[in-house]
Amino acid sequence: MKILLINDYAVPQGGAEIAILRLRDTLRDRGHDVRLFASSAGNNGKYSQADYTCFGTTSRFRTLLQTANPWAAIQLRRVMGSFQPDVVHVKMFLTQLSPLILPLLKNVPSLYQIVWYRPICPLGTKLLPDGTLCHSPPGAVCYRSGCLPLHDWLPLMLQLRLWRRWRGRFDLIVANSEAVKRRLVSEGIEPVQVIWHSVPAKPSRPPLATPPTVAFAGRLVREKGADVLLRAFVNVAQQIPEARLVIYGDGPERARLEKLADDLCLADRVSIRGFQPHEEAMSSFSRAWAVAVPSRWEEPFGLVAAEAMMAGTAVVASRSGGLTEIVRDGETGLQVPPDNADALAAALLRLLRDRGLAERMGQAARKVPSWSSVSIPGIRVCCGDGPKKVNCQRSLPLWSADVGDKPLARN
């Protein structure tokens, strides 16, 4: 089977990018001809793993490119003509490739895997500037609330209008959690199926050793809540002086977080290591007593939490979004209110003071039913000369299930 994957980026520096690269490799291992189309943005000539690329940018012209990227449309037309895929799987396209690529999917079975809120929010977070959740559809409120300046608001409203105009090009829309599905349906995007991400199977980690360590991995942006974790760790360090915190990730908040760690007198207990290869960061989970996912926003899924659970590590996560679906409070980890440093500190202390509890929760995370396999729906591919979904003779698996070693299933 010839499968074309489409994503804004092909650099393994974020959950969505890591998942799409893993999906390509897994499908290739199963004998399929799989290619990845992505923009050149963020590559810096080093990490791109795309098979086809088009122009992308992270400069101040990015907003215009998000709205209409003619280079993406031209290059994708060439790729569709030369590769002639049997099915197209789109993951992210609204931050680089733009809706101009959608008309090109007209005659090919296509699915859209939505992994965040970008199709219903120009920022992708559904967070207002004051940190509260936004429950309004995109429109004038995005400008009035201060989320977007006028020069960005105008093109991004056009972008969302184009996406809604051409969203019928997708035969199937899939969300990565019930939380994302609810948001999409509330704003008129349906029907939507839900298939969770999968994570690769990992061997059981060795017994926990000192010092008691908390790990964090993620992009260093405000919505991920690393600053909340630092403030919570002040209390942890006061009560368990030998405790350590390791932060993996990079982003616009890094300098502020490093200063905050100094201001809180945590410099000798906190290590902010910046971007690290994914496998290196994940290996730290096997040594951590707990992995913290203190997101302020409604985390669409929580791939970091899922990978920590597969490593056999207890998770302390915000009680919001997709995290509430995968972290079982009191069984595989602990849930805390978002943006609450005191509650986060109490949960971390509970695990760091009780090695046996941390071990039991971590091992329980590897065994919960959500790691069992699922039956995967499909989309039909026309083998004749008619429209792409008429008189179909065969059914393709839904590739957006991220067919890894341990696909997640909803109960």
Amino acid identity at 79: V
CATH 3.40.50.2000, the chain: domain bounds:
2-195+374-407, 213-368
**What is the per-residue pLDDT for 161?**
97
Segment 84-122, tens digit of pLDDT:
999 999 999 999 999 999 999 999 999 999 999 999 999
**What is the per-residue pLDDT for 407?**
36
**What is the per-residue pLDDT for 205?**
84
**What is the per-residue pLDDT for 46?**
56
- Cβ neighbours of residue 182 closer than 8 Å, sequence gap 6 or more: none
User: In the block, which residue shows the tokens 């101009």?
Assistant: 100
Q: Crossing angle of helices 15-29/303-311, nearest 10°?
A: 60
Task: Label residues 203-232 b or e (16+ Cβ within 10 Å = b).
Answer: eebeebeeebbbbbbbbbbbbbbbbbbbbb
Residue 7 to residue 170: CA distance in whole angstroms: 15
Phi, psi of 313, deg, nearest 5: -115, 135
Residue 31 to residue 148: CA distance in whole angstroms: 45
Q: What is the model's pTM?
A: 0.86
- Reference 398, options 145, 42, 88; nearest CA is 88
* CATH code matching the domain that covers 2-195+374-407, chosen among 3.40.1350.10, 3.40.50.2000, 3.40.50.2300, 3.40.50.140: 3.40.50.2000
- Reference 311, options 282, 272, 281; nearest CA is 282
User: What residues of the chain score a pLDDT lower than 70?
Assistant: 43-46, 368-411
Residue 111, H or E segment:
strand 110-114
**What is the per-residue pLDDT for 395?**
39
- Reference 381, options 360, 397, 370; nearest CA is 397
**What is the per-residue pLDDT for 43?**
63
**What is the per-residue pLDDT for 375?**
31
- Cβ neighbours of residue 222 closer than 8 Å, sequence gap 6 or more: 253, 296
CATH of domain 213-368: 3.40.50.2000
Angle at 32 between CA 31 and CA 35, to 5 degrees: 135
Segment 120-165, tens digit of pLDDT:
999 999 999 998 999 999 999 999 999 999 999 999 999 999 999 9
**What is the per-residue pLDDT for 44?**
57
Residues 179/300, Cβ–Cβ less than 8 Å:
yes
Chain centre distance of CA 238: 33
